[in-house]
Amino acid sequence: MDAAREPDPITIPGAPAPVPPSLEEPTEPHKPLPPKPDQGAPETRTPTGVPTDYPPETVGQQGAYLTTAQGARLTDTDHSLKAGPRGPVLLQDHHLREKITHFDHERIPERVVHARGAAAHGVFVANGAAESVTKAGFLKRGVTTPVFVRFSTVLGSRGSADTVRDTRGFATKFYTDEGVYDLVGNNIPVFFIQDAIKFPDIIHAGKPHPDREIPQAQSAHDTFWDFVSLHTEAQAHAMWNMSDRGIPRSYRMMQGFGVHTFRLVNDAGETVLVKFHWRPKLGTHSLTWEEAQLASGKDPDFHRRDLADAIEAGAFPQWDLALQVMPDTPEETFEGIDLLDPTKIVPEELAPLQVIGTMTLNANPTNFFAETEQVAFHPGHLVPGIDVTNDALLQGRLFSYIDTQITRLGGPNFAQLPINRPHAPINDMLRDGMHQTAVHAGVAPYKPNSLDGGCPFFAGADEGAFIDIPVTVSESVKERADSRSFDDHFSQVTLFYRSLTPIEQQHVAEAYAFELGKCYEQAVKERQLQALANIDADLCATVAAALGLPAPAPTVEVADVEPSPALRQVGEQWPAEGRVVGIVADESTEASALATVREGLHAAGIVPLVIAPHGGMLHGIPVQRSVQTAASIEVDAVVLLAPSTDPRALRMLGEVFRHGKAIAASPAAADTLEAVHIGDAPGVVTVEPAAAVDELLTLLSTHRVWERLEALRA
């Protein structure tokens, strides 16, 4: 981009640096450039939680000159110190050894699960609706709390693709005045297992086969379906994964769930049981299966890029945080549903959602490693007013997470990393250890003491102490067992499937057919078909026909359930803000028409993406994609302002059409629609450029043109 050009009033995301680079290598020394406007950073606090009032750049690199890690300025970093120009390298070359040694240790062990992630900074503003059920300070009316959110896939490595069919992590770190609170959840409200002792088993089953290390980041293989078909409590999560939930359109359009049931306590000491829900303002939407495959090949970073670009473009993602509130009864059940079973949901028709605040993500990380990679979540990071239940999966997570952080981050002081530092005073009596960056004073890190004047002191409830909620533990025997209420592995799977619309059900059947079709062992396929027979006969028959196998009869009575419309993704209307619309134009397009559409989309909160036959500029407007680099997966709709015979443009248009996306064409481009036989289809309109935006706003409200998808599959 030409630095001398007039600045564009519409932010085009993707610039790698805060200012355009010069053509020649800069030689005039200057301080490090500031972060980009879309970037944020952890608040500057001491290792013990004291705000420093220093700007974020004070924790970044300093000065205009290259130095060693100890601050000695360097004249050269391109040549090793040698015994003559052609001689051996000398051991005394400290800079070489420091540079290479640090490079050798730049990577830390990746997470066993959730290795592939993306993150952003933001704020959470409470509306006060939770004040009656919890004394948590950050949930009081009008309180604004900084947050850091990490989204992730579960099974894949850090180098895997974003758009694989998988569960997504949705982990939120609230930097509250009462300490860090971590809500560590997923985009699916149920989990594969009921007890954490089986977590290694489900992950070992889902991970690549240990002999060949394939397939990567997917469940379409024998070991996964072998475990799931034998361990039928996993059928609920498997069904959610086979639905469109398994391939989200965007992290911005993805729900989040706390999965477990938690216990809240208010100022009066009254308790309730709750489930947490994140609801995206843009609605919950997914990719089609073909889009997911295209994205894995054309842009493996699709979700990561989408999140970062949206924030940079000012289309800040938002979610409402909501509660399902149930009575805290001794049985810990609600409407016959065991609330300690993480493979079960509570339908929203039985316990409606109560919105308690809104989260806005408004800044990208400044440094991926320091923030996204080093952030450490833990479901045991709680604040007064929020406590755990006896969910056996949650109980195991309370042990597992801290052990994971110590292994990954090199020691017990991971809370002192800037991204993990609490925004509350820290006086924990923990000392020393690897990577201790605090300089603790005093001689008595123990209780009780007199040598440090008795400090630190205990707090009471009036001082905001975290007090474990006293819960009666029933008299019982010590045993390895589950409650009998955990034995129903099929009725809620039937509930989920029968709550979906026909097009969503078809996607589920196609997903099962694909995944089981990738399995080698016939016995695994037949065993999973038996599980499907116990869920829904029509689903089982459809999948069996695709596999060329007979559909078995059920071995249990198939549940007669009342569908829950809240589980559907299709049928509601959503705001168009934050969507990406491609504008296909060329030199024949009137400059005023291009400007009108682009500015109109931007004014509606939509991110415009200009696509032309070439890069550079078109009528004074930056071209963001050429037909060679453009991909249909990037856009939610297309405005066609120029006719085209380029096969690449026509292929993209055909993909947009097949994927049920809205298409608006100017009269000048109508012949192109006819050339690819899409002129009369639902969701394809021919309008003057000035009216294109209004037409698209209506069509985008349902995310896709579903009647077109249904017609294409008929």
Active site residues: 114, 186
Cα separation, 116 vs 118, whole angstroms = 7
For residues 96-126, one letter each, b for 16 or more C-beta atoms within 10 angstroms of the residue's C-beta and e for the rest, the string is beebeeeeeeeeeeebebbbbbbbbbbbbeb
Query: Both tokens of residue 42?
Result: 């952890």
**Token pair belonging to 625:** 């994609």
SS3 622: strand
CA dist 598 and 693 (Å) reads: 9
HEC secondary structure over 52-85: CCCCHHHHCCCCCCCECCCCCECCCCCCCCECCC
**3-class SS of residue 601:** helix
Half-sphere exposure of 246 (CA within 13 A, CB side): 25
Q: Can you tell me which residue has the tokens 């690897």?
A: 434
Joined together, the tokens standing for residue 170 give 């949705």
Q: What sign has the CA pseudo-torsion 188, 180, 304, 220?
A: negative
Give the C-alpha separation, 36 to 106, whole Å.
Answer: 24
CA distance 285 to 279: 12
Residue type (1 letter), 102:
H
User: How far, in Å, CA of 58 to CA of 420, rounded?
Assistant: 17
DSSP assignment of 136-166, as one string? -GGGSTT-EEEEEEEEEESSS-TTS-TTSSS
β-strand pairing of 580-584 with 607-612: parallel
Distances (CA, A) of 520 to 210, 220, 523, 589, 683: 16, 10, 9, 54, 41
The Cα 665–Cα 688 span in angstroms is: 8
How far apart (Å, rounded) are the C-alpha atoms in residues 648 and 307? 26
User: Hey, what are 174's tokens?
Assistant: 């609230």
CA atoms within 13 A on the CB side of 707: 6
Query: Can you tell me the distance from the alpha carbon of 288 to that of 359, in angstroms, rounded to the nearest whole number?
Result: 27
Contact 342, 395 (CB under 8 A): no
Alpha-carbon distances, residue 701 vs 25, 258, 661 (angstroms): 48, 28, 11
Residue 149 · residue 127 · CB < 8 Å: no
Give yes or no for a contact between 594 and 693, defined as CB atoms under 8 angstroms apart.
no
Contact 617, 665 (CB under 8 A): no
* 388 within 8 A of 263, measured Cβ to Cβ: yes
Q: Which residue bears the tokens 């949930």?
A: 139
Strands of 93-246, DSSP E: 117-126, 144-153, 168-176, 179-186
d(CA 153, CA 187): 10
Residue 457, both tokens = 């002191």
Dump the DSSP string for 374-406: T----TT---TTEE----HHHHHHHHHHHHHHH
CA distance 59 to 428: 24
Cα–Cα distance measured from residue 598 to residue 68, given in angstroms and rounded to the nearest whole number: 48
